[in-house]
Amino acid sequence: MGQLHMVRHVEMNLPRDQVWEHMTDIRRAMTLDQFHVSIDCTETEATNPKTGMVVPILHRILGWDHTRLARITKYGDYEIAWGESTPPGEFDTFPHSEGWKIEEIDSKTSSVTLWMKGNWRTPVGEKLQPFIWDSVIAPNLDRDMSDLAQAVGADMSRSPDPVPDIAGDLLSMAFIETINGMPAKEFFDQIPPLYPDDAKETGAN
């Protein structure tokens, strides 16, 4: 399965410049993500980010702390975006990118867009990817939006969707490496087709 894309939109009852001001320090902008604990950069870098700049981000997911490298791909004109990967030499289970865009509706109202693109590269994660996006990524982005609104003192046009009870289980299962004592990929590879062609032909006769 290829890359998936999730987009969330909300309106906030504040001018665009007031919402964007929070994003001008990437220590704030890049830690709105629920799984981002902190970033490693100087104050000068944080307040003067440049396209191409690489920023280490400490992640915490299900109690697992690890660092991913974010390369800023866009900054300016009320928009910030970056792509994330693991340090060189490490297998990347979930290469992805995300970004924010603040647009003016009128002098007192803004439209905020938050998007994420990515794909799971683990055998189980690849199988569960559509469910993870609906159950984990969508409410995660909603919470990021809510945190931005709270930080800038804005009301949102809609409330965040609730996080399904199964979200943590799905995300945890994405990292499973073995099934029934076999590497997960080998396990899936040996599963026969649900409807083999010969069986369908037999049933048709």
Q: For residue range 150-184, what is the model confidence (pLDDT) as tens digits?
A: 999 999 888 888 889 999 999 999 999 999 999 99
**Tens digits of per-residue pLDDT, 13-67?**
999 999 999 999 999 999 999 999 999 999 999 999 999 999 999 999 999 999 9
Q: The domain containing residue 161 runs over which residues?
A: 4-197
Whether 205 is in a domain gets the answer no
**Residue 19: what pLDDT?**
97
CA angle 111, 117, 110 (to 5 degrees): 5
pLDDT score for 161: 81
Q: How many CA atoms lie within 13 A of 128 on its CB side?
A: 21
pLDDT of residue 200: 56
Domains in the chain: how many in total?
Answer: 1
In a domain? residue 204? no
What pLDDT band is residue 2 in, cutting at 50, 70 and 90?
Answer: confident
Specify the 3-state DSSP secondary structure of 163: coil
* 8 Å CB contact between 82 and 107: no
CA–CA distances in Å: residue 114 to residues 31, 49, 129, 137, 163? 13, 19, 19, 11, 17
- Amino acid 157: pLDDT: 85
Mean pLDDT on 189-197: 86
CB burial of residue 54 (10 Å; 0-12, 13-18, 19+): exposed
CA distance 189 to 9: 39
Q: Using N-to-C axis directions, what is the helix angle for 138-152 and 16-23, rounded to 10°?
A: 110
Q: Residue 37's Cα: distance from chain center in Å?
A: 14
- pLDDT confidence band for 198 (50 / 70 / 90): low
CATH number of the domain enclosing 90: 3.30.530.20
Residue 122 included in any domain: yes
Sign of the CA dihedral running 179, 185, 189, 192? positive
pLDDT value for 195 = 87
Does residue 204 carry a pLDDT above 70?
Answer: no
Residue 93 DSSP code: S
What tens digit of pLDDT does each residue of 115-130 get?
A: 999 999 999 999 999 9
- The angle subtended at Cα 118 by Cα 157 and Cα 123, nearest 5°, is 130
Residue 203 resides in a domain: no
Mean predicted confidence (pLDDT) in 83-95: 96
